[in-house]
Amino acid sequence: VERSKVTDPSWRRMAACRGVSPDLFFPSKGEPAGEAKQVCQTCPVAGACLDFAITSGEETGIWGGMSERQRREVARARRIAAQAGDQAATG
Ligand code: SF4
């Protein structure tokens, strides 16, 4: 497999943040991230981007329009939903 295919998933080609300064998406602690989130709002692949960040455990930056803290909440909610699904299937 070509390395570029691993590090650059196909959805990135459609990312609204292509060509936008990455600095915008990796604000320092306490810096506002509103501009980055605005770009994400126009992004056609925000869902894939968010899933990628959650499954790969990205701890910094804005992905899928969400901060690290927001992603943690989504990941937690998904875990709870998955557990509920497991219980429904086995119980
Ligand atoms: S959701 Fe935001 S960070 Fe992710 S690809 Fe789209 S514009 Fe970039």
Percentages helix, strand, coil for the chain (3-state, rounded to 5) are 60, 0, 35
Our answer on whether the CB atom of 54 is closer than 6 Å to any ligand 1 atom is no
The reported pLDDT for the residue numbered 91 is 73
Average pLDDT (9-27) is: 94
Rounded to two decimals, the pTM is 0.85
DSSP label at 80? H
Average pLDDT (79-91) is: 91
What is the per-residue pLDDT across 28-50, written as a single tens digit (0 to 9) for each?
A: 888 899 999 999 999 999 999 99
Residue nearest to atom 5 of ligand 1 (CA): 15
CA of 17 to the centre of ligand 1 (A): 5
Q: Which residue has the tokens 């990941």?
A: 75
Residue nearest to atom 8 of ligand 1 (CA): 17
How many Å is the maximal CA-CA distance in the chain? Answer: 50
CA of 53 to the centre of ligand 1 (A): 10
Q: Are 39 and 22 in contact (CB under 8 A)?
A: no
What is the per-residue pLDDT across 52-77, written as a single tens digit (0 to 9) for each?
A: 999 999 999 999 999 999 999 999 99
Q: Where are the extended beta strands (E) located within the chain?
A: none
Our answer on whether the CB atom of 66 is closer than 6 Å to any ligand 1 atom is no
**Is the model more confident about 8 or about 46?**
46
Closest CA to 37 of 16, 19, 52, 56: 16
